[in-house]
Amino acid sequence: MRIIKVKNYDEVSVKTANLILGQVNLKPDAVLGLATGGSPVGAYKKIVEAYNNGEVDFSGVTTINLDEYRGIKRNHEQSYWSFMQENLFKHVNVREDHIFIPNGENLNSEEVCREYDKIIENAGGIDMQLLGIGLDGHIGFNEPADHFEKNTHCVELTESTIEANKRFFESKDEVPRQAYTMGILPIVQAKKVIMIANGKNKADIIKKAFTGPVTPEVPASILQMHPDFTLIADEDALSEI
Ligand code: GLP
């Protein structure tokens, strides 16, 4: 794995955006695996700036998001659908029919998950996967477990995740308890994987994930095995390693 250590969140965002822009310019029909959460917001801003300056064209790009809450309306302001629209999609020329996010409105988990696996397969896999990391080591919503779940599945969110995500909702009670997430397989099969992390609160989990054993108890640890994995993190997030 490669670690790019930078000073602060702004530098994390610039580096991340540059890698994504480089990927799209190199391969205009790239398949991007995209993430939500606080970590990628700055990178998406930089990408929008580059788009407005005519530096990139998304018309051939396909985007496949990692996850979505189960039982949330698409237009709920905290759905990952809305997040992606607000932070990226409505500002660039990605085609609507090239955008994929698990369907959180459909409560039939089996149907949603098998459909999403097909979408990933039909896209031919992911060229560049962007990830954040949860405080419990989750990637997407692959929560700590006794085994790595390969395919798209429905998860019960952990207490740590519900606690961390309540900042986005009016109260903790409103945080959905379940989510659909891409499995571990398409993530590790992505040609390139980029993880972004910033802030002191990520330091412990970064240490566990990348200096500890590879274990499904810390899902991000699997990335130690990936042949082209880059962690872009600020000094605070890297302060324990
Ligand atoms: C969320 C998302 C993840 C994200 C993580 C960290 O719950 N499902 O994809 O990476 O938690 O979020 P943040 O970047 O806000 O710390």
Q: At what angle do helices 41-52 and 9-26 cross, to 10 degrees?
A: 50
SS3 state at 159: helix
148 Cα–ligand 1 center, Å: 18
| 101-129 tens-digit pLDDT | 999 999 999 999 999 999 999 999 999 99
| 131-157 tens-digit pLDDT | 999 999 999 999 999 999 999 999 999
The rounded distance, in Å, linking the Cα atoms of 69 and 155 is 9
Catalytic residue check, 156: no
Residue 239 lies in a domain: no
Confidence of residue 67 (pLDDT cuts 50, 70, 90): very high
Residues having CB closer than 6 A to ligand 1 are 35-39, 66-67, 132-134, 140-141, 161, 165
Q: What ligand 1 atom has the least distance to the C-alpha of 157?
A: 7
With pLDDT > 70 as the criterion, what percentage of the chain qualifies?
Answer: 100
| 170-224 tens-digit pLDDT | 999 999 999 999 999 999 999 999 999 999 999 999 999 999 999 999 999 999 9
Residue 178 lies in a domain: yes
- CA-nearest of 132, 152, 156 to 143 is 156
Residue 76 lies in a domain: yes
The dihedral region occupied by 145, where left means phi > 0, alpha psi between -120 and 50, and beta the remainder, is: beta
Terminal CA-CA length for the chain: 14
SS3 state at 112: helix
The two tokens of residue 231 are 């962690």
Supply the ipTM of this predicted assembly: 0.96
Catalytic residue check, 138: yes
Residue 241 lies in a domain: no
Residue 240 lies in a domain: no
Contact 237, 198 (CB under 8 A): yes
Contact 200, 236 (CB under 8 A): yes
Confidence of residue 81 (pLDDT cuts 50, 70, 90): very high
Q: Indicate which CATH number applies to the domain containing 177.
A: 3.40.50.1360
Catalytic residue check, 29: no
Instruction: Look at residue 2 in the predicted model and tell me its pLDDT.
Output: 97
Mutate to test the pocket of ligand 1, among 165, 166, 195, 236 (most ligand atoms within 8 A of CB): 165
Contact 181, 211 (CB under 8 A): no
Range of 32's domain? 2-234
Nearest alpha carbon, ligand 1 atom 1: 37
Spot the catalytic one: 67, 117, 234, 236.
67
SS3 state at 13: helix
Residue 30 lies in a domain: yes
Instruction: Look at residue 24 in the predicted model and tell me its pLDDT.
Output: 98
60 Cα–ligand 1 center, Å: 27
Q: How many domains does the chain have?
A: 1
Confidence of residue 88 (pLDDT cuts 50, 70, 90): very high
122 Cα–ligand 1 center, Å: 26
Residue 111 lies in a domain: yes
Spot the catalytic one: 68, 117, 127, 136.
136
Q: What ligand 1 atom has the least distance to the C-alpha of 133?
A: 10
Confidence of residue 15 (pLDDT cuts 50, 70, 90): very high
114 Cα–ligand 1 center, Å: 23
Amino acid at 38: G
Nearest alpha carbon, ligand 1 atom 3: 140
